[in-house]
Amino acid sequence: MAESGNLEKMLILGFADSKKAETGGKKEAVNSFEALINPENYTQEIKHKFAESDQGHGTSGKQLKYQGTEPEEMSFEFLFDNTGIIDGKPRDSIVDDIKKFKEVLIDYKGDAHEPRHLKLVWGENLIFKGRAVEIAITYKMFKSDGTPTRAVVKVKFKSSIEEQKRAAKENKSSPDLTHVRRVKLGDTLPQLCFDVYGDPRYYLQVADANALNDFRLLPPGANLVFPPIDKSGKSA
Protein backbone atom coordinates (compact mmCIF):
# COMPACT_ATOMS: atom_id res chain seq x y z
CA MET A 1 0.00 0.00 0.00
CA ALA A 2 1.26 3.48 -0.84
CA GLU A 3 2.57 5.57 2.03
CA SER A 4 0.42 8.62 2.72
CA GLY A 5 1.56 11.70 0.80
CA ASN A 6 4.73 10.13 -0.61
CA LEU A 7 3.61 8.14 -3.62
CA GLU A 8 0.61 8.13 -5.95
CA LYS A 9 -2.43 9.98 -4.63
CA MET A 10 -5.80 8.28 -4.58
CA LEU A 11 -8.10 9.54 -7.33
CA ILE A 12 -11.89 9.51 -7.45
CA LEU A 13 -13.10 9.54 -11.05
CA GLY A 14 -16.69 10.43 -11.96
CA PHE A 15 -18.45 9.05 -15.05
CA ALA A 16 -21.79 9.90 -16.63
CA ASP A 17 -22.94 6.26 -16.89
CA SER A 18 -21.99 2.75 -15.81
CA LYS A 19 -20.81 1.68 -19.27
CA LYS A 20 -18.21 4.45 -19.42
CA ALA A 21 -17.17 3.63 -15.87
CA GLU A 22 -16.51 0.03 -16.92
CA THR A 23 -13.52 0.82 -19.13
CA GLY A 24 -12.86 4.55 -18.77
CA GLY A 25 -9.88 6.21 -17.11
CA LYS A 26 -9.00 9.74 -16.10
CA LYS A 27 -9.24 11.03 -19.68
CA GLU A 28 -12.78 9.67 -20.05
CA ALA A 29 -13.97 10.88 -16.63
CA VAL A 30 -16.38 13.82 -16.50
CA ASN A 31 -14.74 15.07 -13.30
CA SER A 32 -12.25 13.86 -10.70
CA PHE A 33 -10.85 14.52 -7.24
CA GLU A 34 -7.33 13.87 -5.90
CA ALA A 35 -6.93 13.15 -2.19
CA LEU A 36 -4.77 15.57 -0.21
CA ILE A 37 -3.12 12.57 1.44
CA ASN A 38 -3.84 8.89 0.97
CA PRO A 39 -6.16 7.21 3.49
CA GLU A 40 -4.41 5.39 6.33
CA ASN A 41 -7.00 2.62 6.18
CA TYR A 42 -10.37 1.70 4.74
CA THR A 43 -13.15 -0.71 5.61
CA GLN A 44 -14.60 -3.34 3.28
CA GLU A 45 -18.02 -4.87 4.01
CA ILE A 46 -19.42 -7.99 2.34
CA LYS A 47 -22.86 -9.22 3.35
CA HIS A 48 -24.87 -12.32 2.44
CA LYS A 49 -28.66 -12.42 2.53
CA PHE A 50 -30.35 -15.43 4.10
CA ALA A 51 -33.95 -16.50 4.61
CA GLU A 52 -35.08 -18.68 7.52
CA SER A 53 -36.69 -21.91 6.44
CA ASP A 54 -39.41 -23.59 8.47
CA GLN A 55 -38.09 -25.52 11.45
CA GLY A 56 -38.05 -29.23 10.73
CA HIS A 57 -39.62 -31.77 13.06
CA GLY A 58 -37.19 -32.78 15.78
CA THR A 59 -34.66 -30.05 14.96
CA SER A 60 -33.39 -27.44 17.41
CA GLY A 61 -33.66 -24.39 15.16
CA LYS A 62 -34.37 -22.94 11.75
CA GLN A 63 -31.95 -23.28 8.89
CA LEU A 64 -30.63 -20.28 6.98
CA LYS A 65 -31.07 -20.51 3.22
CA TYR A 66 -28.76 -18.43 1.06
CA GLN A 67 -30.61 -15.89 -1.11
CA GLY A 68 -27.85 -13.77 -2.55
CA THR A 69 -24.97 -11.40 -1.90
CA GLU A 70 -25.61 -7.72 -1.27
CA PRO A 71 -23.53 -5.10 -3.08
CA GLU A 72 -20.08 -4.70 -1.54
CA GLU A 73 -19.53 -1.58 0.57
CA MET A 74 -16.33 0.31 1.38
CA SER A 75 -15.72 3.23 3.76
CA PHE A 76 -12.89 5.77 3.54
CA GLU A 77 -11.84 8.84 5.51
CA PHE A 78 -10.42 11.81 3.61
CA LEU A 79 -8.53 14.67 5.26
CA PHE A 80 -9.01 18.30 4.18
CA ASP A 81 -6.57 20.97 5.43
CA ASN A 82 -6.00 24.54 4.23
CA THR A 83 -3.11 25.50 6.54
CA GLY A 84 -0.47 24.42 4.01
CA ILE A 85 1.27 22.20 6.57
CA ILE A 86 0.62 19.08 4.46
CA ASP A 87 1.05 20.25 0.87
CA GLY A 88 2.73 23.64 1.26
CA LYS A 89 -0.24 25.38 -0.37
CA PRO A 90 -2.14 27.43 2.23
CA ARG A 91 -5.67 28.45 1.25
CA ASP A 92 -8.27 30.77 2.72
CA SER A 93 -10.75 28.00 3.48
CA ILE A 94 -11.46 24.32 2.95
CA VAL A 95 -15.03 25.13 1.90
CA ASP A 96 -14.17 25.22 -1.80
CA ASP A 97 -12.26 21.92 -1.59
CA ILE A 98 -15.15 20.16 0.11
CA LYS A 99 -17.61 21.69 -2.37
CA LYS A 100 -15.63 20.21 -5.27
CA PHE A 101 -15.39 16.88 -3.45
CA LYS A 102 -19.16 16.76 -2.97
CA GLU A 103 -19.73 17.78 -6.59
CA VAL A 104 -17.76 14.76 -7.82
CA LEU A 105 -19.39 12.31 -5.41
CA ILE A 106 -23.02 13.20 -4.80
CA ASP A 107 -24.23 16.20 -6.80
CA TYR A 108 -27.27 15.49 -8.96
CA LYS A 109 -26.34 15.76 -12.63
CA GLY A 110 -29.08 17.07 -14.91
CA ASP A 111 -27.70 15.37 -18.01
CA ALA A 112 -27.82 11.88 -16.46
CA HIS A 113 -30.61 12.58 -13.91
CA GLU A 114 -28.50 10.97 -11.17
CA PRO A 115 -25.14 11.32 -9.35
CA ARG A 116 -21.98 10.11 -11.07
CA HIS A 117 -20.72 6.55 -11.28
CA LEU A 118 -17.36 6.46 -9.50
CA LYS A 119 -14.01 4.72 -9.63
CA LEU A 120 -11.48 4.89 -6.81
CA VAL A 121 -8.00 4.52 -8.28
CA TRP A 122 -4.72 4.37 -6.37
CA GLY A 123 -1.71 4.43 -8.67
CA GLU A 124 -2.22 1.60 -11.15
CA ASN A 125 -4.74 -0.19 -8.93
CA LEU A 126 -8.49 0.00 -9.14
CA ILE A 127 -9.61 -0.01 -5.51
CA PHE A 128 -13.37 0.20 -5.99
CA LYS A 129 -16.16 0.98 -8.43
CA GLY A 130 -19.64 2.11 -7.36
CA ARG A 131 -21.63 5.01 -5.98
CA ALA A 132 -21.28 7.24 -2.92
CA VAL A 133 -24.22 6.55 -0.59
CA GLU A 134 -23.21 8.38 2.61
CA ILE A 135 -21.00 11.37 3.43
CA ALA A 136 -20.26 12.63 6.97
CA ILE A 137 -18.15 15.78 7.44
CA THR A 138 -16.43 16.49 10.77
CA TYR A 139 -14.89 19.98 11.05
CA LYS A 140 -11.93 20.02 13.44
CA MET A 141 -10.07 23.36 13.38
CA PHE A 142 -11.35 26.93 12.98
CA LYS A 143 -10.15 30.48 12.63
CA SER A 144 -11.28 33.06 15.15
CA ASP A 145 -14.20 34.00 12.87
CA GLY A 146 -15.40 30.39 12.70
CA THR A 147 -13.96 29.60 9.23
CA PRO A 148 -13.03 25.88 9.15
CA THR A 149 -9.41 25.07 8.41
CA ARG A 150 -9.44 21.29 8.74
CA ALA A 151 -12.04 18.55 8.26
CA VAL A 152 -12.30 14.77 8.03
CA VAL A 153 -14.86 13.44 5.56
CA LYS A 154 -16.04 9.85 5.93
CA VAL A 155 -17.58 8.38 2.77
CA LYS A 156 -19.37 5.08 2.27
CA PHE A 157 -19.38 3.66 -1.24
CA LYS A 158 -21.62 0.86 -2.50
CA SER A 159 -20.69 -1.37 -5.42
CA SER A 160 -22.76 -0.90 -8.55
CA ILE A 161 -22.07 -4.09 -10.47
CA GLU A 162 -24.67 -4.35 -13.21
CA GLU A 163 -27.40 -6.88 -12.42
CA GLN A 164 -26.50 -9.22 -15.30
CA LYS A 165 -22.89 -9.38 -14.15
CA ARG A 166 -23.95 -9.87 -10.53
CA ALA A 167 -26.16 -12.81 -11.47
CA ALA A 168 -23.36 -14.35 -13.50
CA LYS A 169 -20.89 -13.81 -10.66
CA GLU A 170 -23.18 -15.38 -8.08
CA ASN A 171 -24.39 -18.08 -10.51
CA LYS A 172 -27.83 -17.94 -8.94
CA SER A 173 -29.17 -20.66 -11.26
CA SER A 174 -26.66 -23.20 -10.01
CA PRO A 175 -28.37 -26.50 -9.11
CA ASP A 176 -25.81 -26.85 -6.29
CA LEU A 177 -27.43 -24.07 -4.23
CA THR A 178 -30.63 -24.00 -2.22
CA HIS A 179 -33.07 -21.39 -3.52
CA VAL A 180 -36.22 -19.90 -2.06
CA ARG A 181 -38.95 -18.56 -4.34
CA ARG A 182 -42.16 -16.74 -3.45
CA VAL A 183 -45.11 -18.06 -5.46
CA LYS A 184 -46.90 -15.56 -7.69
CA LEU A 185 -50.36 -15.95 -9.19
CA GLY A 186 -50.11 -18.18 -12.25
CA ASP A 187 -46.84 -19.87 -11.26
CA THR A 188 -46.54 -23.61 -11.87
CA LEU A 189 -44.06 -25.91 -10.21
CA PRO A 190 -42.57 -27.21 -13.50
CA GLN A 191 -42.01 -23.62 -14.66
CA LEU A 192 -40.37 -22.64 -11.36
CA CYS A 193 -38.14 -25.72 -11.60
CA PHE A 194 -37.14 -24.63 -15.08
CA ASP A 195 -36.30 -21.14 -13.78
CA VAL A 196 -34.14 -22.52 -10.98
CA TYR A 197 -32.62 -25.69 -12.45
CA GLY A 198 -33.04 -25.16 -16.19
CA ASP A 199 -35.16 -28.33 -16.31
CA PRO A 200 -38.88 -28.71 -15.36
CA ARG A 201 -38.58 -32.44 -14.65
CA TYR A 202 -37.49 -31.93 -11.05
CA TYR A 203 -40.95 -30.80 -9.92
CA LEU A 204 -41.69 -34.07 -8.10
CA GLN A 205 -38.53 -33.80 -5.98
CA VAL A 206 -39.34 -30.16 -5.16
CA ALA A 207 -42.93 -31.09 -4.29
CA ASP A 208 -41.61 -33.76 -1.93
CA ALA A 209 -39.08 -31.36 -0.36
CA ASN A 210 -41.91 -28.91 0.38
CA ALA A 211 -44.43 -31.57 1.47
CA LEU A 212 -46.90 -30.49 -1.22
CA ASN A 213 -49.93 -32.76 -1.43
CA ASP A 214 -50.95 -31.26 -4.78
CA PHE A 215 -48.20 -29.59 -6.83
CA ARG A 216 -50.85 -28.22 -9.23
CA LEU A 217 -52.21 -25.86 -6.59
CA LEU A 218 -49.57 -23.37 -5.53
CA PRO A 219 -50.92 -20.74 -3.12
CA PRO A 220 -49.73 -17.25 -4.12
CA GLY A 221 -47.41 -15.74 -1.51
CA ALA A 222 -46.10 -19.08 -0.28
CA ASN A 223 -42.33 -19.61 -0.08
CA LEU A 224 -41.03 -22.75 -1.77
CA VAL A 225 -37.60 -24.24 -1.13
CA PHE A 226 -35.70 -25.56 -4.15
CA PRO A 227 -32.93 -27.81 -2.75
CA PRO A 228 -29.73 -28.84 -4.54
CA ILE A 229 -30.41 -31.52 -7.14
CA ASP A 230 -27.87 -34.07 -8.30
CA LYS A 231 -27.83 -35.71 -11.73
CA SER A 232 -29.58 -38.80 -10.40
CA GLY A 233 -32.65 -36.65 -9.72
CA LYS A 234 -32.42 -36.97 -5.94
CA SER A 235 -32.47 -33.86 -3.79
CA ALA A 236 -29.33 -33.38 -1.69
Please give the average pLDDT of every successive group of 10 residues along the chain, which has 236 residues. 58 88 87 91 88 59 72 92 88 88 83 82 86 94 90 92 51 63 89 86 89 85 84 50
Helices (H), the chain: 18-23, 95-105, 163-170, 189-197, 203-209
Residue 172 is predicted with a pLDDT of 54
Q: Is residue 183 part of a domain?
A: yes
Cα 94 from Cα 80, distance rounded (Å): 7
Q: Is residue 56 part of a domain?
A: no
Residues 29 and 125 in one domain: yes
Per-position b or e across 50-68, b if 16+ CB within 10 A of its CB: ebeeeeeeeeeeeeebeee
Residue 3 is predicted with a pLDDT of 43
Range of the domain at 204: 173-226
Question: Does residue 36 contact residue 80 with C-beta atoms inside 8 Å?
Answer: yes
Q: 0.95 exceeded by the pTM?
A: no
Residue 34 is predicted with a pLDDT of 93
Domain finish residue from 116, 149, 166: 166
- Split into its structural domains, the chain has a count of 2
For residue 181, what are the β-bridge partners?
Answer: 224
Residues 116 and 144 in one domain: yes
Residues 161 and 179 in one domain: no
Residues 118 and 207 in one domain: no
Residues 217 and 143 in one domain: no
Residues 119 and 75 in one domain: yes
> Terminus-to-terminus CA distance in the chain, angstroms?
44
